[in-house]
Copies of this chain bind each other. A is one copy, B any other.
Amino acid sequence: MFLGCQFSLYPMTDRFVEVILGAIDRLQNLGDRLRVESDDLSTLLVGAPEVLFPALQECFVQAAGRSSHLVMNVSLSRGCPGEPDDPLCHSAALGGSVEPTAAGRVSAALGRLGPVAPTGIPAAAQIALYPLGRPDYMAAIGDCIAFIKKSGLHSRAKHFCTRMDGDAAEVFQAIETSFLCFGGHDDHVVLTAVISKGSPSPRPAAG
């Protein structure tokens, strides 16, 4: 299993350099549990989801505290057949004998949601799930949308993606669950997400 993401922080401020570096420099503390590589476009994270997702959320929270409008862009990938197995990525979240089945995956995903410590940061996100190599991929996408609608996060249909609104901690939990629960353990699954805080543009009505 190879699991990771490319992500970027976009603080809409003249002080963007210090906001970005102040957030991603803290990732170095996770040195032996997460592979971290930054360039001028994005930062690569490779590791197990239980390490990777808290690190992503912490980066968002750190940067959000120092920029009135901030966007994080993330492309997550797991199981790409072109990537090597990496022990750093081994995780109970994608192992064990219980494979998600189409019939039970929405309720399994809902069952994975638990109480989270709120960050106090209202976030809006839009995500798109791409289960690759499977003719039945549209059913998995439909189930993921059904999960988000039932998650309690305010959501709204958009072309090409699904929107959700909530505390940043709830949003990151829903993104992690969407990424892990819709596709077999060894499937190649991609999820893209844009997570935004503090846009001055009006939020659309629910629908």
- The answer to whether B14 touches A201 (Cβ under 8 A) is no
Partner of A199, one of B41, B80, B130, B132: B41
**Alpha-carbon distance A42/B71, docked complex (angstroms):** 11
**Alpha-carbon distance A194/B74, docked complex (angstroms):** 11
Whether a CB of chain B sits under 8 angstroms from the CB of A196 is yes
Chain B residues with CB under 8 Å of A39's CB are: 158, 201, 203-204
The chain B residue sitting closest to A83, CB to CB, is B159
Whether a CB of chain B sits under 8 angstroms from the CB of A146 is no
Whether a CB of chain B sits under 8 angstroms from the CB of A178 is no
The total of chain A residues at the interface (CB under 8 A) is 54
**Alpha-carbon distance A8/B42, docked complex (angstroms):** 16
Apart from A10-B12, A40-B203, A82-B141, 10 more pairs, CB < 8 Å: A6-B126, A6-B159, A12-B12, A12-B16, A39-B203, A40-B201, A41-B163, A80-B160, A130-B132, A135-B135
**What sequence of 0s and 1s flags, for each residue 106-133 of chain A, a beta carbon within 8 Å of any chain B beta carbon?**
0000000000000000001110101011
- The answer to whether B75 touches A138 (Cβ under 8 A) is no
Partner of A6, one of B160, B202, B203: B160
Whether a CB of chain B sits under 8 angstroms from the CB of A69 is yes
**Alpha-carbon distance A165/B160, docked complex (angstroms):** 27
13 A–B contacts from the bound complex (CB under 8 Å):
A8-B71, A10-B10, A12-B14, A40-B124, A40-B199, A41-B163, A42-B194, A46-B159, A73-B73, A132-B137, A133-B135, A133-B137, A192-B192
**Alpha-carbon distance A133/B131, docked complex (angstroms):** 8
